[in-house]
Amino acid sequence: MIKIMIVFGTRPETIKLAPVIKELKKYPKKFEIFILVSGQHNQMLEPFLSFYKIKPNQNLKIMTKNQSIGHIFSEVFIQSGKIIQKFKPDYLMVQGDTTTAAAAAWAAFLAKVKIAHLEAGLRTGDFADPYPEEANRVIIDRISDALFAPTKSAIKNLESEGIEKQKIFLTGNTVIDHLKTFQAKKKFDCKKIILLTLHRRESFGQPLENVLKAIVILAKKFPNFQIVFPIHFNPNVRKPAEQILGNISNVDLIEPLRHLSLLKLLNKSFLVLTDSGGVIEEAAYLGRPVLVLREKTERIESIKKGVAILVGRDEKKIVSMASELILDQMKRKKMTKRIFDYGYGDAARNVTKYFLNLK
């Protein structure tokens, strides 16, 4: 019996770990699974736990008002460390680049427990963007024993950093596992909706206000388009969004959506403006053109294949590029294509095979 402790705390981690949890649980005689939720995004997490029918063994419920990165790290590090001592897992699995993932991985490392990292090898090469996620990725990868890389470029990043090849496995991205089961049952009119998502810490303050001002201009310039913005619960996003966009008739400020509802909206969208890595991956699979509201991205496959464009958080550049894609049918058509660089929907099986093959 292989004991695997799986730790996560945010909505994206839940979405990407759910297919793996589901696959591992097909082998109850082979694996004993302990699911620990930190509650880093507790308010946004519960609907997804319910949707995926995931019942955590324990929820740390660490979320506090205006919680700091230090608070998240210290609470997860100390409490997960105690649970590691009790459960004594053979492996601790984390996903991505969150503070929850970094803290739990470090606790496992100090306890001499092997670490499996889902979505290893993503890089921008800049510790300030995204912050602190880029540093979290590097740290987790360096101390991991099994690195599940979603793409070939992620493997190259890991090998260039001197990580042993025998630790690295190309799996694809588990977000595609879920998307593969999501098929639109009818064709949607994709001529009216622009989807906007914003949540990254490095956008807070003036950069985020620049983006919102660009949205004001676009809304007025193209009144026949409806801009839909599911607002993150973080007050650093919510407050300026409501102040700047609250009274514009063709901008819908809505509450965060369940994942399937977000995917349906994404699939309907004429254009997507986002700073979310997960949305970039999902849009690539669904064939929706994306303007990336960041200076750098670790999802370089979308940029190289021409289905996404980096526009940063510059007001004029956002307006200019969005306007061009709305008005230039040929340019938008070139970006409206599906790519499969992030996988074919078998990532969870590939991850599970690693554990099944352990002696």
List Cα–Cα distances, 168 to 95, 153, 154, 163, in angstroms.
15, 12, 10, 8
Contacts (Cβ under 8 Å, ≥6 apart) of 207: 313
- In this prediction, residue 142 carries a pLDDT of 98
Q: How far apart are CA 352 and CA 19, in angstroms?
A: 10
Q: How far apart are CA 222 and CA 326, in angstroms?
A: 9
Provide the greatest CA pair distance for the chain.
62
DSSP of 203-268: GTTHHHHHHHHHHHHHHHH-TTSEEEEE--S-HHHHHHHHHHHTT-TTEEEEPPPPHHHHHHHHHH
> Could you give all domains of the chain from N- to C-terminal order, each with its CATH number?
2-173+343-356 (3.40.50.2000), 193-335 (3.40.50.2000)
Active-site amino acid positions: 97, 119, 133, 199, 201, 232
Q: How far apart are CA 73 and CA 132, in angstroms?
A: 11
Antiparallel, parallel or unpaired: β 31-37 and 193-197 = unpaired
- In this prediction, residue 186 carries a pLDDT of 39
In 88-205, alpha helices (H): 99-110, 133-143, 152-160, 174-181
Query: SS3 for 311?
Result: coil
- Positions in the chain short of pLDDT 50: 184-189
Note the Cα 175 to chain centre separation in Å. 9
Q: How far apart are CA 140 and CA 104, in angstroms?
A: 10
- In this prediction, residue 187 carries a pLDDT of 42
Contacts (Cβ under 8 Å, ≥6 apart) of 7: 36, 37, 38, 76, 80, 92, 93, 94, 100, 101, 104
| Residue whose pair of structure tokens reads 């595609």 in the numeric block | 176
- In this prediction, residue 275 carries a pLDDT of 94
- In this prediction, residue 261 carries a pLDDT of 84
Q: How far apart are CA 297 and CA 303, in angstroms?
A: 9
Q: What is the pTM of this model?
A: 0.88
Q: How far apart are CA 19 and CA 21, in angstroms?
A: 6
State the amino acid at position 132 in one-letter form.
Answer: P
Q: Which residues are paired to 292 by β-bridges?
A: 274, 310
CB of 339 closer than 8 Å to CB of 305: yes
Q: How many residues can be counted in the chain?
A: 359
Summarised one tens digit per residue, pLDDT across range 50-97 is 777 889 999 998 888 778 899 999 999 999 999 999 999 999 999 999
